[in-house]
Amino acid sequence: MKAIVVYLSTSGNTKAMAEAIAKGIEAMHVDVKAVSFYDAKPEELKEADAIAVGSSTFYYKMLPPMEKFMSETLAGIKPAGKVGAAFGSYGWSGEAPIVIAEQMREMGMHVIDPVLRILHKPTDKDLQECKRLGVDMAETLKQQVKPA
């Protein structure tokens, strides 16, 4: 089983969340990699059984490069059936993770709820929530891949 956590972080907050999510996944003995969306390779996304995507919110939506990643790169690998999660930090409104989750569902992914949104810089408690999301992803993945 493999997972990948892809993020676009303008101030480092969403990156910190991504790294904590990856730690939670890793704690459940699932291979995981946290990468900036700039470094996410389509073949890694195809190989992954679970994909978490995070973006900070800018003017009530995700940043344009992440919109392109979602509509072209992620949609292009046809991720239906994969476990998904959406997350991100925000300063005012926080819509980006909600939009990411909606798009993942439209692609046929099994999205973990609730969507994880954190105001500004994640606190230690927030990072524990991120790790919990990673654990939830890994547990959902393991339930889907039960041996016959």
Which residue in 19, 43, 46 sits closest to 33, CA to CA? Answer: 19
Which residue in 25, 81, 17, 77 sits closest to 53, CA to CA? Answer: 17
pTM: 0.93
Q: pLDDT digit string (tens) for 20-75? A: 999 999 999 999 999 999 999 999 999 999 999 999 888 888 889 999 999 999 99
Domains in the chain with CATH codes: 2-144 (3.40.50.360)
The confidence band for 77, taking pLDDT boundaries of 50, 70 and 90, is: very high
CA–chain centroid gap for 55, Å, is 9
Evaluate if residue 118 carries a pLDDT over 90: yes
Q: Could you tell me the two tokens for 5?
A: 């956590």
Phi/psi at 12 (5° precision): 95, -10
Would you state the torsion angle of the CA atoms of residues 80, 130, 89, 108, taken in this order, to the nearest 10 degrees?
A: 10
